[in-house]
Chain A
Amino acid sequence: MLILAIITALLLIISFICNASKTISALKIALRMFMNLLPQMIPVLFLIAFILALLPPETIEKYMGQDSGITGFLVAGAAGSIALIPGFVAYPMAGVLVKNGVSYPVISVFITTLMMVGILTLPIEKKFFGWKVSITRNILSFTAAVAIGSAMAVIWRFL
C-alpha cells in the first residue's frame, strides 16, 4: 500500500515534469473512472457484506474454501459465467471474499469465467461471430477456467 503510494507519487511527478498538460488529462481520466465506478461499487460491496453477515464462515469455508474441491469450482464458475460485473468491481469483491475464507483457486475460476465467459452477453457476441462460433468459444473458455483453477489448486499448495 505504502509502496504503491510512493510509486504513484514518483511517476506523477516525473510525468508532470515531462508534460504538465498530459499529466492533467491523466488525472482527469483517473477522476472520471473513479466517479463512474463508485456508484456501482457501493451496492455490490454492500451485497457482499450482507451475504457474509448472513452466512457463517464455516459455510463459506465448506463450499468455496481450500477443501471445497470441484463443488467450489462449479459454484464459482456458474456465478462467473452469468454475472455481469466489471473487472474494476470484481477484483475488490474478490479481495473481500479471499479475506473471508474463499480459496485462491476458487477465486481464479470465478475471475476467469467472469472475464472469458459471458452467457448474458451471448446475444451480443452472436451478432459478431454467429451462434456456432460464440457457443464454442464460451464452452471452451468455461472448460479452460476450470482447468486453470485446478492447476492453481495444485500449484498453490507448493508456493
Chain B
Amino acid sequence: MKTYLKKNKYEIIITIFMGLFVLLSYVYDYRIGTESARNFSDSIIEMISFLPLIFILIGLFDVWVPRGIIEKHLGKNSGLMSIVWMILLAMLQAGPLYGAFPIAYMLWKKGTSVRNIFIYIGAFTTMKIPMLSFEIGFLGLKFSLLRTLLSMPVFIIIAFIMQKKFGKNFMMNDGKNN
C-alpha cells in the first residue's frame, strides 16, 4: 500500500487538486467546473464497471496462452509463413512501443530478417490482443476490425520498404550504451 501510494504520488496530488477544483466550482457555481465534474463522473462510472471484465480476460489470456510454442517457430527462415508467426508473436504481447525494441533486438540477434523485425514492430503497435480487446470494448467491433484490416497491409509495406532501404548493413544495439 505504501509503495503504491509512493509510486503514484504525482497522480494522487493531481487528483486532490482536481477534487478541490470541483468543490470550489460547486461553491462558486462555476459552470465549466461543474460540467467537467458531470462529464467525469459519467465516464469514470463506465470505466469502473467495464475495465475489471477486460482485465480478467487479459489475465486469463496471460496464464493460458503458451508463448513458447510460437518462439520455437522463429529464426532465420524468411518465407511467408515467418510473417504469420511474427504477427502471432507480436499479437500476444502487451505494453508500450518502447517495450518492443528490446524484443526486436533479441530477434535480430537470433537472426531474424530486417523485414520480419519491422513486421514484428508493426504488429506489436497495431494488433496486440490485449489492446484489441480494449479497442473493441470502447470503440466497437466494426471500428476495430476495419482499422486492423487496413493496418496490416500498411505495416507489411513499411517492413518491405525498411528491408529494401536498410537491409544491406542493418545494425542494432542493445539500447544500453551510446
Contacts and interface: CB of A to CB of B under 8 A. Distances in A.
Real binding pair: yes
Interface of A: 1, 4-5, 7-8, 11-12, 15, 22-23, 25-31, 33-35, 37, 39-43, 45-46, 48-50, 52-54, 86-88, 91-92, 94-96, 98, 104, 107-108, 111-112, 115-116, 118, 121, 124-125, 127-130, 132-133, 136-137, 140-141, 144, 147-148, 151-152, 155-156, 159
B104 A52 contact: no
A91 B53 contact: no
A95 B101 CA distance: 29
A87 B59 contact: no
Given A41-B47, A43-B15, A11 B60 contact: yes
Interface string B41-83: 0011011011111111111101110000000000000000000
Nearest to A144: B154
A11 B98 CA distance: 32
State the majority secondary structure of interface residues on B: helix
Given A43-B11, A128-B102, A128-B172, 18 more contacts: A12-B60, A15-B60, A34-B51, A43-B18, A45-B43, A49-B37, A50-B40, A53-B36, A92-B43, A92-B134, A128-B101, A133-B170, A136-B166, A140-B158, A140-B161, A140-B162, A147-B154, A156-B146
What's the interface size class on B, roughly?
A: 35 or more
Contact of A148 (B4, B32, B105, B154): B154
Contacts of B36: 46, 49-50, 52-53
Given A39-B8, A118-B98, A8 B139 contact: no
Given A88-B134, A127-B178, A128-B172, A45 B40 contact: yes
25 contacts: A4-B53, A8-B53, A26-B63, A27-B56, A28-B59, A34-B55, A41-B47, A42-B15, A46-B36, A49-B43, A52-B36, A53-B31, A87-B128, A91-B139, A118-B97, A128-B101, A128-B102, A128-B104, A129-B101, A136-B165, A144-B158, A148-B147, A152-B150, A159-B142, A159-B146
A124 B175 contact: yes
A27 B147 CA distance: 30
B37 to A, nearest CB: 7
B16 to A, nearest CB: 11
B36 to A, nearest CB: 4
Nearest to A130: B171
A111 B172 CA distance: 27
B11 A15 contact: no
Nearest to A52: B39
